[in-house]
Amino acid sequence: MTNRKIKDFHKNRILYNCMTENVRNLCRIMLALNKTFPKQFYPKRITEWLSAYKENCTETNKLDAIDAYDYKLEQWCEEYDIDTEWCTEFVKRNSPSIRSSQNILVLVNNVKLALIQTRAEFGIGDKRMQELKVALEEDQPREPEKELAKFGFDYEFGSVGDVDYRKLAPKKQPKVSYADLKRGYEGLGCRFFPVT
Q: b/e map of 100-123 (b: 16 or more CB within 10 Å)?
A: eeebbebbbbbbbbbbbbbbeebe
Q: Where are the domains of the chain?
A: 3-187
In the chain, what is the greatest distance between 2 CA atoms, to the nearest angstrom?
72
Which residues of the chain fall short of a pLDDT of 50? none
CA atoms within 13 A on the CB side of 94: 29
Backbone angles phi, psi at 132, to 5 degrees: -65, -40
- Looking at residue 88, its amino acid is T
Give tens-digit pLDDT for 27-77.
999 999 999 999 988 888 988 998 999 999 999 988 888 888 899 999 999
| 30, 49 contact by CB (below 8 A) | yes
* pTM for the full predicted model: 0.80
Q: CA 99, CA 107: separation in Å to the nearest integer? A: 11
**pLDDT of the residue at 73:** 92
Angle between helices 84-94 and 9-36 (to 10 degrees): 110
**pLDDT of the residue at 128:** 92
